[in-house]
Amino acid sequence: APALTVTKVSDTAGQVAAGTTITYTFTATNSGNQTLTAVSMADTHDAGAANALSTIAFVASPLTDVAPLLDSTDGGGDDVWDTLAPGDTITWQATYVVAVADISTQVGGDGTIDNTATGSALDPLSAAVNDSSPAVSIPVDAANASLLMAKVADDTTDVILGQLITYTYTITNNGNVPITAISLGDIHNGSGPAPAPDADAATLTDNGTPGDSTNPSSGDNQWDTLAPGDVLTVTATYTVTQSDIDNLQ
């Protein structure tokens, strides 16, 4: 009665954020009464996931050997266990790094990263012996689109006629998903031409994955895509008029 029993668990609890490394642990136990050979592990990883699962590799000491001892053997060189005796267990691990795209797409629409492990082996007559674990579902953080806006002037003291005031605007994506088509306006009570901050001309501070904030379209007064954690810096100027002084603006 050849048999294989497969389990799979993750090291996570609750929702996972972008950048989280999930470690999966897989076990295959010879739960039958015949020696099995060529014991391997595979995983059907969520098709909606943005990244790939790492190689499923043996842990440092993959064999859990129950009596009689030393009846399970492996020649090494791969992550397939050569001979697994009844009652013995082999353990593998693999990792997955949660991507920003997993949060923004909610990994295929159900809000979870789902996958199922399948162990395979051969009995003494070279017939296939397989078993699959229950699906492991890991929820991802809810998408939170958010911008943080700040504005400062280079001179907050009393200004004089003709003085040029430079305003600096910073826009931070403090959410967990990319934000697109970012524009910037300024409600200004000066009597002269109002500051005209142009998000299209912003300077980018890239705090996350390099290259994930992009602005391929120019001339539209918008920054195209700002990734979580990244910051845009824009400047605009205003020249103090006589009317501003006369009206104590």
18: Cβ–Cβ under 8 A, 6 or more apart, which residues?
98, 99, 100, 102, 103, 141, 176, 228
Determine the pLDDT at residue 91: 98
141: Cβ–Cβ under 8 A, 6 or more apart, which residues?
15, 16, 17, 18, 103, 176
Within 13 Å of residue 6, how many CA atoms lie on the same side as its CB? 23
Query: Which residue, 89, 90, 70, 87, is CA-closest to 31?
Result: 87
Query: Which residue, 174, 94, 103, is CA-closest to 139?
Result: 103
Determine the pLDDT at residue 1: 95
Cβ-based burial of 221 (10 A; exposed 0-12, middle 13-18, buried ≥19): middle
pLDDT digits (tens, 9 = 90+) for 94-151: 999 999 999 999 998 899 999 999 999 999 999 999 999 999 999 999 999 999 999 9
- The yes-or-no verdict on residue 156 having pLDDT over 80 is no
- The yes-or-no verdict on residue 87 having pLDDT over 80 is yes
Mean pLDDT of the 11-24 span = 94
Per-residue tokens: 239: 């020249």
Within 13 Å of residue 166, how many CA atoms lie on the same side as its CB? 5
pLDDT digits (tens, 9 = 90+) for 192-236: 999 999 999 999 999 988 999 999 998 999 999 999 999 999 999
- How does residue 181 score in pLDDT terms, banded at 50, 70 and 90? very high
CB 31 within 8 A of CB 123: no
Dihedrals phi, psi of 102, to nearest 5 degrees: -65, -35
Determine the pLDDT at residue 248: 79
Q: Which amino acid is at 248?
A: L
Specify the range with the lowest mean pLDDT, choosing from 39-53, 111-125, 146-160.
146-160
Dihedrals phi, psi of 101, to nearest 5 degrees: -65, -30
- How does residue 166 score in pLDDT terms, banded at 50, 70 and 90? very high
Query: Which residue, 132, 136, 224, is CA-closest to 178?
Result: 224
Specify the range with the lowest mean pLDDT, choosing from 77-81, 83-87, 108-112.
108-112
Per-residue tokens: 98: 């949660």
Task: Give the residue, 208 or 63, on which the prediction is more confident.
Answer: 63
Determine the pLDDT at residue 155: 79
- The yes-or-no verdict on residue 249 having pLDDT over 90 is no
In our burial notation (b when 16+ CB lie closer than 10 A, e otherwise), range 51-74 reads eebeebebeeebbeeeeeeeebeb
Task: State the chain's mean pLDDT as an integer.
Answer: 94
Cα distance between residue 180 and residue 30, in whole Å? 53
- How does residue 247 score in pLDDT terms, banded at 50, 70 and 90? confident
